[in-house]
Amino acid sequence: DAGVTQSPTHLIKTRGQQVTLRCSPKSGHDTVSWYQQALGQGPQFIFQYYEEEERQRGNFPDRFSGHQFPNYSSELNVNALLLGDSALYLCASSLELAGTGNEQFFGPGTRLTVL
Amino acid sequence: AQSVTQLGSHVSVSEGALVLLRCNYSSSVPPYLFWYVQYPNQGLQLLLKYTSAATLVKGINGFEAEFKKSETSFHLTKPSAHMSDAAEYFCAVTNNNDMRFGAGTRLTVKP
């Protein structure tokens, strides 16, 4: 059973460029969340997708956008990259069941470096 | 709003000694609480979770945590540290949508 997979593993971009990160959830999961983890910090919630719609969003600008496909996979897009966007981007998947605490399973992350 | 605070950004213990990593939470509703571990250049792995069933929660690798409502705490413990426990540990709280993480505690295990 494949867990959460993310691509690419590493990415180097320059300021002002745009980037797309991809995530495939754990088999059977229908909800995908994205997190940004800057060096030496805890993950910060970007947004969550369920039923192909953004259900909740953290404190991130509109430059950060996403999409969920019918097969539950997801993309994170970041426009007009800034140096401060350099971070590890984590994708987590979960199953929408009330009362379970929605345990999230994390992928290995994509390391984005903005020069 | 919900949040967690991890006390101590770095904890160092000797191999075989007790591990205690502290986490306090703030939540307006009964929380779901989690401890995750992160090894260098890897994603997060779930150690254990509290979902209001039992206050003492046992996880993987010999870790456990106790939910104390009166102290709003969910501290992580392990009776005897092993060299392989050296990693970054994160406490997290969720309301079933977004998950809020603490800043993390780096655990160092000395031989």
Q: What are phi and psi of B16, to 5 degrees?
A: 95, -10
| Token output for B11 | 């904890």
Question: What's the rounded Cα separation, in Å, for the pair B31 and B51?
Answer: 7
Cβ of B34 within 8 Å of Cβ of A109? The answer is no
> pLDDT (tens digit, 0 to 9) for every residue of chain A, 115 residues total?
679 999 999 999 999 999 999 999 999 899 999 999 999 899 999 999 999 999 989 999 999 999 999 999 999 999 999 999 999 999 999 888 755 667 889 999 999 999 9
Confidence at residue B96, expressed as pLDDT on a 0 to 100 scale = 66
Cβ of B44 within 8 Å of Cβ of A4? The answer is no
Instruction: Tell me whether B102 touches chain A (CB under 8 Å).
Output: yes
Question: What's the rounded Cα separation, in Å, for the pair A92 and A23?
Answer: 8
Instruction: Tell me whether A103 touches chain B (CB under 8 Å).
Output: yes
Cβ of A90 within 8 Å of Cβ of B43? The answer is yes
- CA B48 to chain CA centroid, nearest Å: 8
User: Model confidence over B22-38: pLDDT tens digits?
Assistant: 999 998 777 889 999 99
Asked if residue B6 lies in contact with residue B25, where contact means CB atoms within 8 angstroms, the answer is no
Question: What's the rounded Cα separation, in Å, for the pair B92 and B73?
Answer: 12
